[in-house]
Amino acid sequence: MTNTDSIHIIADSCCDMDDDLKQRLGIMTVPFEMDLGEDKYADDELLDLPKFKEAMAKWQGRIGTAAPTPHSFYEALKKTGAAFCLTISGKLSASNDNAHLAVNLLRSDNPLSKVHVFDSLSATAGETLIALKLRQLIDERLPHLDIVERIEGFIKGMKTYFVLENIDNLLKNGRLPRVAGKLTTLLHIKPLMGSDGHGQIKLFGQTRSRKQTIIKLANTIANSGRKTAGELLVISHCDNPSLAEDLADHIRSSYDFSEILIVPTGGLSSVYADREGIVMAY
């Protein structure tokens, strides 16, 4: 048996949550840093997100993002006796590498430290979904190694998809092939993208209207072969609660997820989701 009070979840700030969900998960976060030229913003609880989004909308240059440092992870980890650490895909950021460096440092100080780092192979809603699954298994008092095995298996089967109104930031930061970006702009379509299963972004299709966006995102569930009974689904959105709610309602009418959670994007996720972007993970 495991004392759940002594096990912590630590995630980088790409794990999107509102205050209620953060409390439910009992999670600690370590911040990314975003910069608009010389102006730097930490993606933490002190970030004025509306002002950051306003500044981001006016900024014409590349938006810089920096992963949490090994020191940031170490400072969070040393407060725990046992922990699970969760990061954005290692193919998209140095966050996962930095978390591993922090764990190595922690173990040099305390060889008995019980910590495992998960690469989400995803981001935003995907990271949030894994955190929820972790909390479930911790609360079930499963042994540490059983939790590791189950979460690693869950990550391999998890699906993450997103539709963006604006792909400029993905293009500027090299997250999307420029040819695909130019075709999207020329044809006035919105790309349906997602994780390729290995932590990188893949183009799966396109949509032109709000109705198509809802239908195509929901149809990925049937096409995935993933079971939905008793499972969770997470939707993250950047200033688009009405689309998130309509998507959730459509999914509820067709599938039997036990819970669908809707959360706003945090600072880092807002950089890439940009205004009105929506992300879904199950």
Question: DSSP assignment, residue 91?
Answer: T
Are 153 and 168 contained in the same domain? no
How many domains are there within the chain?
2
**Domain residue limits at 269:** 160-281
Average pLDDT of the chain is 92
d(CA 29, CA 17) in angstroms, rounded, equals: 10
- pLDDT tens for 175-194 read 665 545 555 555 668 889 99
- Categorize the per-residue pLDDT at 2 as very low, low, confident or very high, splitting at 50, 70 and 90: very low
Are 89 and 229 contained in the same domain? no
Are 65 and 133 contained in the same domain? yes
Are 117 and 178 contained in the same domain? no
- pLDDT tens for 99-147 read 999 999 999 988 888 999 999 999 999 999 999 999 999 999 999 999 9
Supply the pLDDT for residue 4.
58
Are 31 and 145 contained in the same domain? yes
- CATH number reported for the structural domain that contains residue 135 in this entry: 3.40.50.10170
Supply the pLDDT for residue 167.
80
Are 22 and 142 contained in the same domain? yes
- CATH number reported for the structural domain that contains residue 187 in this entry: 3.30.1180.10
Cβ neighbors of 131 (< 8 A, separation 6 or more) are 9, 11, 15, 17, 25, 27, 86
Percentage of the residues of the chain whose pLDDT score is greater than 70? 92
Are 14 and 64 contained in the same domain? yes
Give the domain-ending residue among 133, 157, 181.
157
User: Which region among 58-67, 162-171, 197-206 has the lowest average model confidence (pLDDT)?
Assistant: 162-171
Examine the pLDDT at 34 and tell me if it is beyond 90: yes
- pLDDT tens for 36-58 read 999 999 999 999 999 999 999 99
Supply the pLDDT for residue 165.
87
Instruction: Count CB-CB contacts under 10 A for residue 125.
Output: 29
Are 126 and 17 contained in the same domain? yes
